[in-house]
């Protein structure tokens, strides 16, 4: 995947190792990643689980645009992001970002840029189910 950038929406759990392996490049001396997991609390409330939904066509287009921007903005050799949709339990992997670069600064900076922009711009929403039986919709940046 040298020079590649790939954004995907996943309907089921996915393996991180093949995504990381696809970013291997002889020019890369650094790799940075981010994993976002479903936590058991939000704003002081106990969370029992959640469901992510998205407008898939727009989410994939905007996600790819973000990765393309990262490729143009940072000196990186590759970048990938996968975000889950559907029902997720506490502790499950919800989003993964991986970045390869010649140097660590670019890898770290691009990784932070990608996750921040995905949370701000990609049309994904989460429906949290609380332990008290209540539920509510949130943008995943929450």
Separation in Å, CA 142 to CA 41, 52, 111, 127, 128:
11, 13, 19, 11, 11
Give the integer Cα–Cα distance in Å for 18 and 82: 12
Exposure of 64 by Cβ count < 10 A (0-12 exposed, 13-18 middle, 19+ buried)? middle
Q: What is the pTM of this model?
A: 0.93
pLDDT digits (tens, 9 = 90+) for 60-91: 999 999 999 999 999 999 999 999 999 999 99
- Return the structure tokens found at 75: 């000196």
Share of the chain above pLDDT 90, in %: 92
Q: What is the pLDDT of residue 4?
A: 66
Q: What is the pLDDT of residue 42?
A: 92
Closest by Cα among 129, 139, 128 to 55:
139
pLDDT digits (tens, 9 = 90+) for 27-49: 999 999 999 999 999 999 999 99
Q: What is the pLDDT of residue 141?
A: 60
B/e letters for 103-129, b = 16+ CB within 10 Å, e = fewer, are: eeebbbbbbebbbebbbeebbbebebe
For the chain, domains (ranges, CATH) are 5-138 (3.90.1170.40)
Q: Name the strand (E) or helix (H) holding 33.
A: strand 30-37
Please determine, for residue 138, whether its predicted confidence score (pLDDT) is greater than 50.
Answer: yes
Please determine, for residue 3, whether its predicted confidence score (pLDDT) is greater than 90.
Answer: no
Report the length, in residues, of the chain: 142
Give the integer Cα–Cα distance in Å for 31 and 101: 6
Mean pLDDT of the chain: 94
């Amino acid at each position: 995947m040298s020079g590649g950038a790939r954004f995907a929406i996943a309907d089921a759990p996915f393996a991180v190792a093949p995504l990381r392996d696809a970013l291997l490049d002889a020019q890369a001396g650094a790799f940075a990643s981010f994993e976002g997991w479903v936590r058991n609390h939000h704003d002081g409330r106990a969370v029992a689980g959640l469901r992510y939904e998205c407008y898939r066509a727009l989410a994939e287009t905007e996600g790819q645009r973000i990765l393309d921007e990262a490729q143009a903005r940072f000196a990186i050799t590759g970048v990938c992001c996968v975000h889950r949709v559907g029902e997720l339990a506490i502790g499950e992997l919800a989003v993964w970002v991986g970045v390869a670069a010649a140097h660590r600064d670019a890898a770290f900076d691009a990784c932070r840029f990608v996750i921040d922009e995905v949370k701000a711009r990609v049309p994904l929403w989460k429906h949290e189910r609380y332990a008290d039986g209540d539920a509510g919709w949130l943008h995943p940046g929450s």
